[in-house]
Structure formats: C-alpha cells, structure tokens
Structure 1
Amino acid sequence: MRYAFVAIVFLSLFSCKKDPVVFENNDIPPYDEIPTIIVQNYVNRLFIDIIGREPLDAEMDLEVNALEAEDLSMESREDLVEKLMYSEAPLEGDISYNHACFEKLYEDTKARLLEGSSDGFIMSKYDIFRFAAIADSLSGNVTGYEANMELANALLAIIDCKESLRTQTIEINEVYRRMTYNWIYDEINMNTFNFINATFNDMFFRYPTQSEFDNAYSVIEFNEPAQVLGVVVQNKLEYIEALTSTTEFEEGLVRWSFLNMLAREPSAQEVYAHVGLFEQTNDILTIYKSIFKTDEYAGFD
C-alpha cells in the first residue's frame, strides 16, 4: 500500500503540465508582416529628416531591400541611420551623406534661432559691418572699428558653424552660442527684455523666473556681475555661455528633438535617458539616432 501511494505521487508530479509563463505588454512586433510601402515610408522619412531630401529610386530600392533582408532589425535601422549621418562616400548631386546631414542640421538650427536667415543674408550684413569697421579704422575711430569688427566676426562665426560642427572642431552648445550672440538674433529679439525671454524659451522651453530675469537684466544691460543659473557672469557673452553649459540646455535639446521628429513632448524618463546619451558624446546626432530607430518613428508599432 505504501509503495502504491508513492507511485501515485510520483506519477502525479511528473504528469502535471505547467502553464506557460506569459509576460503581458511585451509583444515583439511581427516585422515580417509589415508591408513594403511602410518600409518605404520609413526610408523616405529618414532621408528627409537626416539629409533634407527624398531618396532617389536606386537609393530607395537599396535601403528597403537591406532593411527587409534583416527583418527590420534594430541593427539594420541603425546601420542606415549611421550611413546617412556619417558616410563620406562621394554622391551624385551631393558631396556626401555626411555633408548633407550637417547642412540640414545647420539649416534647422538657423530656422529655430534665426528665423531661417540665409547665408547670403548673413554675409550681406557681415559685409556692411566689415566696411564700417574699415571706414572707422581709416578715420582713426578705434572704438567704432572694434565694435563693428565684433559684429562682423560674430556673423562670420555663424557661417563657420556648419563645417566646424561637422569636423568636430566645435560642439552643439557652441553653435547655439554663436546663433544667439549676433546682430541678427538681437534684431529678431529687440531690447534686453525680449532677448532674455527669447534665450530662455529657445533653449529651455520656458521663461525665466523673476529672480533669473532680474539678474540677467543687470548683466546684459549694465555689465554688472550677477548669478545666472548658479554661475556668476558679467556680460552678455558670459550669460549665453552660462545658459548653454547647463543640464537644462541638454534637456532642451532632447525636447526639441522629440518635438521635431515625433511631434510630441518626451516623458521624464525619455528626457533622462537621452540626456545621458548626449553627455557621452556631446553630439545631438546621438539623440536623433536613438529616435530614428524606434518603432514609433518608423511607423512599425
């Protein structure tokens, strides 16, 4: 009897079939079921958002086939994104994808900060200030010469941004410094009141507190030392450098990237994660790359 009971227990233990463990809300999208037209839309969108144009037919066929051959894997998406951002192979109609990418980034940043001012317009203003500086020099007006040369050089520094950023001579925060410290930005945001509000809103997506505004006003209007965002500054350039050297500036880059690429605000978790990515390289393309390979951006969700 005792042996029969043990046998029954033994058979019961090993004949029981365990239910499978199911993790809800963790489904892998069936990428092999995604229509080719959706993949084509993704490739088209990447080309436009990264290099500013639609792909040629040959480019479209090549990249769609490459993605589908890898079942739209994250690795294949990242390969395409990096190709469009960093490939320096010569192209018909473009110098390279890399040059076109930084041209697009440069133009997008000008659109955000300088109302899309063309390089021709910027250089025309440079010529005016440069000519005025030469006239001041010839007349012995040293103060006028220095003031006009500073205005001219600040405009020329904008034009230099594109290639300097591409070759990693400067980083994105320097681009923002140059595009907010110049005659054009001052004309768009005339007077100190508007300038302070504009710089906070453009970089942080918010307006300054009363204390922040008062301190910034003293610095810009009177060159009086004051604390701005935890840093003591004494002039307009130092004020801009303080703004572009903060974590809040990096958060602003993340927010701008999400709004620009996904037409939505990032969550607090997404902001934190992407600021971490950015701080590893100080390259805004790191943020873009993370967004571009997602199912949400691709339309695969």
Structure 2
Amino acid sequence: MRKPSAILILVLSGILLTVSCARDEILHENLVVDGNTPPPSNGISTLQLNNYINNLYIDLFGRAPTEGELEDRSEYLRTNNYSEEARGTIIDELMESYEYYKNINILTTQKMLVDVDSITVTNQIATYEYIIYLNELAGDTLYNYLIEFEVQKLTDLLQAPVDLYEGSIGVNEYFRRFIYNYYYDEVNMGSLNFVVSCFENLFQRLPTDEETSDGIAMVDGTSSQLLLIDGSSKEDFVDIVTNHLEFYQGQVIEAYHTLLAREPSSFEMYADGLDMMSDNHFNAVKKKILQSEEYAGF
C-alpha cells in the first residue's frame, strides 16, 4: 500500500517542478510594448534637450527656434554626447549673429528708454537738423554747436548695436550712449533722478546718500568725488559710472538674474566682473553661464 503513495508523490513533484520552471520562464521573459521608447543611456531626455535649446534661443534671440533650428541643434548635441564643448560651439554661433545684438538693443531700450524706438530717435534728429537749418538762414548760429552735439549723441545711440556687433565699441561705451542722450534725460528728469537711475540701471543698486549728493553736484557742474574719482561735469559722471569695476559687476548681476534667476556669489561677482572688465564685453561671462550644467539642466 505504501509503494503507490510514493509513486503518487513522485508524480506530483514532477508536475510542480514543471509548473515552477514554466512560471520562471514567464517572469523573466522580455516584454516589448509597441511605441514605447526606452530612456537614453546618458539620462538626458528629448524634453530636456529641447528645453535647453529653446531657452538658448529665447535668451539670446528673444524668440523660439524654428523646427529646423531645433532639429539641427539637437542632432549636433546628440552627436557630440551633449558635451560642454558642443554647447559652447552652439552658443558661439548664436552670439556671432546680428540677431543676438539686435535683441540686446531691444531689451536695453525697453529697460532704459521705456517706449522710445529708432523711428522716434530718427525723427528727433531730423527736428534738430531743421532747427540748425533755420538758425543758419536767420544768421543766428551761436548755439548750433550745442544742437549738433545732441544730434551726434542720438546718432551714436542709433548706431550702438551695430558698433557693438562689429566690435568697434565695448560694453561700457554701449551703455554710455544709452544714458547720455536727450531721451534718457526726458525719462529721468532732474539731476537727482538721473543719478539714482544710473546707479539702478548700471550697478543694480541704489546710491548711498553720500554718492547721491556727490553725483548731483558733479552732474550740476561742481567739482566733487564719486567712487574715489574726481569730476566736475555730467560727462565726467557718465564716464565714471560706465568705467568703474562696479559697472561690470552690475552687468554680472543682471546676467545671473536673467539667465539663472539667482544672485551671483561674492566670488562669481568679483571674478566675473574682472573678466568682463578685461574683455570690455559680456559675451564670455554669458557664455560661461549658458554652457553650465546649472543652466542646461543636464
């Protein structure tokens, strides 16, 4: 009677072993789902890549890339393993375009001259030139040199983005033209408003009480000292605030605010400010930020 039981147990064990093996095979079978794309081995998704390229075009050109631009830039980064060097190559190419400088000019004009555009400036130049013409007809040219000086400043303002693009001026002269003209004076009427606005726009801070009083005195033609530099005219004031290290540090602060939405560290502000002062341009500092993993997100 015991032998059949042993045989039965042996048979049942074989059945269980067969089922177990079959189950193991099912559990370890590779499942393929149609339309499902596995994530890239480097962990950088298509969404991350597209976001990076879109942000570059928006921050540098003020617009999104076209489909062709997005495809070309994406393929280039993939081919070059998304390297920092590859990112730098794309940034260099974008910064070599006049569209980049045109966008800089639009943003600077909106910030510093509010709603003044090139047509408005051109019309004002024409008005000044007509006044000069009428004075010459009347034989009253005593003050024409003052009007001609204003014409030259507005002409320089119109030419600023082209000159910056061509490299004939640096970033300090570029901003100098924006604060030293008829329209900036109209937006910031009076010596007090002029001094305060220059500190806000160029240094990204308000002046101290002493800086305010010294700045006003200098703008009004009185000999005074600002940022440890002597001056006695509005032109002296403009030269000081567009050549001081703090001017370049102000551009660093704005770059970090705009591109990374944060304050630069003390080290970043000092080191990048010196670099920008040495180059007299903001491209190298901007490129460093745009190239970084912090900006790219990968």
TM-score category, normalised to shorter length: 0.7 to 0.9
Paired residues in the alignment total 259
Partner of 1:293: 291
Equivalent runs, 1:1-301 vs 2, <5 Å: 32-86=42-96, 98-221=97-220, 223-300=221-298
Partner of 1:27: none
Instruction: Extract unaligned runs of 5+ from structure 2.
Output: 1-39
Indicate the structure (1 or 2) with the bigger Cα radius of gyration.
2
Residue type matched to 1:271 in 2? M
Conservation of the 8 A alpha-carbon contact between 2:219 and 2:233: yes
Deviation at 1:47, TM superposition (A): 1.3
Say what the alpha-carbon RMSD is for the aligned residues: 1.6
1:32 partner SS: coil
Q: Does the C-alpha gap of structure 1 residues 239 and 31 become closer, same or farther in structure 2, counting only changes over 3 Å?
A: farther
Partner of 2:33: none
Conservation of the 8 A alpha-carbon contact between 2:60 and 2:94: yes
Residue type matched to 1:260 in 2? T
Deviation at 1:205, TM superposition (A): 1.6
Query: What TM-score does the superposition give when structure 2 sets the normalisation length?
Result: 0.82
Q: Does the C-alpha gap of structure 1 residues 31 and 149 become closer, same or farther in structure 2, counting only changes over 3 Å?
A: farther
Residue type matched to 2:242 in 1? T
Q: Does the C-alpha gap of structure 1 residues 240 and 46 become closer, same or farther in structure 2, counting only changes over 3 Å?
A: same
Q: Give the distance between the partners of 1:202 and 1:143, measured in 2 at CA.
A: 35
Runs of 4+ in 1 over 4 A off after TM superposition: none
Residue type matched to 2:280 in 1? N
Q: Give the distance between the partners of 2:184 and 2:245, measured in 1 at CA.
A: 23
Instruction: Extract unaligned runs of 5+ from structure 1.
Output: 1-29, 87-97
Q: Give the distance between the partners of 1:31 and 1:168, measured in 2 at CA.
A: 43
Aligned sequence identity (%): 27
Conservation of the 8 A alpha-carbon contact between 2:217 and 2:224: yes
Q: Does the C-alpha gap of structure 1 residues 120 and 280 become closer, same or farther in structure 2, counting only changes over 3 Å?
A: same
Q: Give the distance between the partners of 1:101 and 1:227, measured in 2 at CA.
A: 37
Conservation of the 8 A alpha-carbon contact between 2:61 and 2:103: yes
Q: Give the distance between the partners of 2:78 and 2:116, measured in 1 at CA.
A: 40
Map Cα deviations across residues 91-138 of structure 1 (whole Å, 9 max, x no partner).
xxxxxxx11111112222222211252111111122122212222232
1:224 partner SS: coil
